[in-house]
């Protein structure tokens, strides 16, 4: 029927109720800024470089927005069933960054070619991460599946920040080193052992060392453990000799280099602490890397 055709006069539409006017239709969740946890990582140097650059430019703004919203924790379960929209971009972005760096770490040739395409400052940051990753990977032996690991919810990052800064003020060490140590040792409480050497808790103390530096505290409690680590580091030479202090903590220069690299990156931009908080636990197996915490984790 054309607009000029009189036809039948349509019946008037019923007026919406006041309650309907007060409750507009819910809009669908916005698309996340970063690929999901199962997304394929680029395999060409150019695409990998583009993904690293885009991710590293976006993440600081995502952290700023997240903090402005109060730093909500979308899920602290080791293997969350769902990730609410609130905080999802930071969760996905951190994991995507981690996976991009892993790709550059696993394949040194691909990594070198990708990093050569990045802007100079970003290339230095990426190189520090890939070097740290290679060093830490060299310290572990690939495991056979199936695997049995006890993973736990990470500790609250806002509480951790207060603990780091309190311990730093008390013992005269940089809080960024305590955060980096907590990150490397347990991914902020996700994987607290005991290790094959008997180390326990978020800072991975062996019982004999904890007995001396724990001051009667609980090795599983983040506040007690972080303050115990600060005491141990100071007794071993920090802050004047961080390399010596960290080597005393774990007698591996690859380990020392990795902790220092992460600490320097947090010093460069404290927002990186929150990005690292949402990195996940990966285990090196005979069939490749297995993600055992966070969205997209495997049952191994």
The backbone torsions φ and ψ at residue 149, rounded to the nearest 5 degrees and listed phi first, read: -130, 140
- Between CA 281 and CA 93 the distance in angstroms is 15
| Cα 156 to Cα 45, 73, 153, distances in angstroms | 36, 8, 9
What digits encode the pLDDT tens for the residues 268-289?
999 999 999 999 999 999 999 9
- Between CA 91 and CA 99 the distance in angstroms is 13
Q: What pLDDT is stored for residue 131 in this prediction?
A: 98
What digits encode the pLDDT tens for the residues 64-87?
999 999 999 998 888 898 888 889
The backbone torsions φ and ψ at residue 282, rounded to the nearest 5 degrees and listed phi first, read: -115, 145
* CA dihedral of residues 181, 186, 192, 194 (deg, nearest 10): -70
Q: What percent of the chain has pLDDT over 90?
A: 81
Residue 42 near residue 104 (C-beta atoms within 8 A): no
Residue 223 near residue 156 (C-beta atoms within 8 A): no
Burial bucket for residue 173 (CB in 10 Å: 0-12, 13-18, 19+)? buried
- pLDDT class for 172, splitting at 50, 70, 90? very high
- pLDDT class for 19, splitting at 50, 70, 90? very low
Q: What pLDDT is stored for residue 214 in this prediction?
A: 97
- pLDDT class for 29, splitting at 50, 70, 90? low
- pLDDT class for 44, splitting at 50, 70, 90? very high
- Token pair in block for residue 242: 């961080």
Q: What pLDDT is stored for residue 30 in this prediction?
A: 74
**pLDDT score of 6 more than 50:** no
Residue 182 near residue 203 (C-beta atoms within 8 A): yes
What digits encode the pLDDT tens for the residues 130-145?
999 999 999 999 999 8
State the pTM of this model.
0.89
What digits encode the pLDDT tens for the residues 87-132?
999 999 999 999 999 999 999 999 999 999 999 999 999 999 999 9
Q: What pLDDT is stored for residue 300 in this prediction?
A: 64
**pLDDT score of 206 more than 60:** yes
- Of 136-150, 209-223, 226-240, the one with minimum mean pLDDT is 136-150
- pLDDT class for 147, splitting at 50, 70, 90? confident
Query: Taking the CB of residue 246, how many other CB atoms lie within 10 A of it?
Result: 27
Q: What pLDDT is stored for residue 40 in this prediction?
A: 97
């Amino acid at each position: 029927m054309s607009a000029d055709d009189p036809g039948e006069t349509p019946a008037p539409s019923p007026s919406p109720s006041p309650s309907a006017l007060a409750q507009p239709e819910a809009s669908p969740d916005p698309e996340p800024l970063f690929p999901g946890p199962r997304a394929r990582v680029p395999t060409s140097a150019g695409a990998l470089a583009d993904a690293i650059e885009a991710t590293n430019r976006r993440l600081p703004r995502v952290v700023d927005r997240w903090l402005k919203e109060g730093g909500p924790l979308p899920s602290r379960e080791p293997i969350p069933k769902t990730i609410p929209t609130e905080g999802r971009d930071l969760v996905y972005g951190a994991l995507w960054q981690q996976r991009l760096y892993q790709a550059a770490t696993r394949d040194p040739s691909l990594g070198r070619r990708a990093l050569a395409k990045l802007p100079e400052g970003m290339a230095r940051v990426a190189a520090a991460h890939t070097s740290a990753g290679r060093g830490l990977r060299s310290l572990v032996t690939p495991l056979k599946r199936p695997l049995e690991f006890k993973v736990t919810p990470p500790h609250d990052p806002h509480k951790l920040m207060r603990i780091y800064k309190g311990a730093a003020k008390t013992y005269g060490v940089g809080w960024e080193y305590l955060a980096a140590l907590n990150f490397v040792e347990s991914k902020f409480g996700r994987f607290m052992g005991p290790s094959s050497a008997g180390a326990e808790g978020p800072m991975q103390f062996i019982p004999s060392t904890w007995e001396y530096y724990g001051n009667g505290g609980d090795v599983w409690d983040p506040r007690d453990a972080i303050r115990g680590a600060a005491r141990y580091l100071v007794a071993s030479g920090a802050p004047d000799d961080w390399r010596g202090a960290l080597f005393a903590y774990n007698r591996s220069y690859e380990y020392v280099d990795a902790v220092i690299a992460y600490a320097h990156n947090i010093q460069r931009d404290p927002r990186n602490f929150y990005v690292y908080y949402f990195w996940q636990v990966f285990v090196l197996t005979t069939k490749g890397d297995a993600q055992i915490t966070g969205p997209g984790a495997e049952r191994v």
